[in-house]
Amino acid sequence: MSTISLPIRLSSPFLLLSSTHRRHYNKKIVKMSSLPESTRRSITLPSQLSEPISIIAGGGISESEFKTAVESSLFSEWLKNLQTPTGILSTGTFTLKQVLIQGVDMFGNRIGFLKFKADIFDNQTGQKIPGIVFARGPAVTVLILLESDGEVYAVLTEQARVPTGRTVLELPAGMLDDDKGDFVGTAVREVSSFLFVCPFVSLMLPTYKVEEEIGIKLKLEDMVDLTAFLVTSTGGRIFPSPGGCDEEISVFLYKGCVNKETITSLQGKEMGLRDHGEIIKVRVVPYEKLWRMTADAKVLMAIGLYEMAKREGLLPEKTVPKC
């Protein structure tokens, strides 16, 4: 059995459980000795050196899927978050005993979604806390506001969202495609792909030219990170569903001026990468009506951040375009 020691420095005293409590939750842990070597591992975290953590593959998980899951950035980032100053393991109140890998979804050559169950126990009571995790990693969303003839419009996307069973009107959003954390670059790409009909733009370019019919140049410096205004302890991200998902979202703002013809041409435009199953329509709505027109959490979060930042005078002057 292979053993991994993760180089994450954090000092947290491990609180020993009574023998009664140990018997209580040791019964719930899958015995690793009954599993093939290739589908089980043991790791040690600095925050609980005396308690190695068992990582095992659930039914239906192949050896390659298990290896991909354990070595993925999604899983390593989750382990890292456990030990941050606000992490579950940072105070020694809880102990992670076991992780059961239950599902792996690949997006091409990289892991897209990861589902696992973490057995984390309260050291004082021995009770297990809820630990089912759907890991998908960080993402970005963009509040796009376009002023035209004195009225401000928001640009949204409309697409089928199978988990909800509905077609949803929402902000353009996208997952980070790599481990580099290029939130601004991803935000620019999302704006370009949904608003300006460019399915791909190189993130190496400082300026992003859009179709001549749109008549707008998009630059990195035009993007304002609204979540950066949150206090440092939040990590500058939003958790839309922390009870079951690790997703953390950065919310960006883009403001621009366009003519009425542009607003008309955007309405109902079909977008998305069809070979990826994306069937998306662009919708343009007056900003003043936006808060009542969709149940998308990203929209409502973005409105709240934007309005509060505006009220507090935190927005740079560049976000007030001269039309």
pLDDT at residue 189 in the model: 55
Instruction: Identify whether the C-beta of residue 301 lies closer than 8 Å to the C-beta of residue 251.
Output: yes
- Decide: pTM greater than 0.75: yes
Cα 133 to Cα 118: distance, rounded to the nearest angstrom: 7
Burial-class residue 43 by CB neighbours within 10 Å (0-12, 13-18, 19+): middle
pLDDT at residue 82 in the model: 96
pLDDT at residue 25 in the model: 44
Cα 214 to Cα 62: distance, rounded to the nearest angstrom: 49
Cα 171 to Cα 144: distance, rounded to the nearest angstrom: 8
Closest by CA to 145, choosing from 310, 301, 308, 258, is 258
Reported residue count of the chain is 323
Q: Dump the DSSP string for 218-256.
A: EEGGG-EEGGGGS-GGGTT-B-S-TTTB---EEEEEEEE
pLDDT at residue 203 in the model: 29
Predicted confidence pLDDT, tens digits, the chain (323 residues): 444 444 333 333 333 344 444 444 444 445 555 567 789 999 999 989 899 999 999 999 999 999 999 999 999 999 999 999 999 999 999 999 999 999 999 988 889 999 999 999 999 999 999 999 999 998 888 898 999 999 999 989 898 999 999 999 998 887 765 555 554 554 455 555 544 433 323 222 222 322 232 334 556 677 899 999 999 989 899 999 999 999 999 998 988 888 898 888 888 877 655 555 567 888 999 999 999 999 999 999 999 999 999 999 999 876 656 67
Cα 268 to Cα 264: distance, rounded to the nearest angstrom: 9
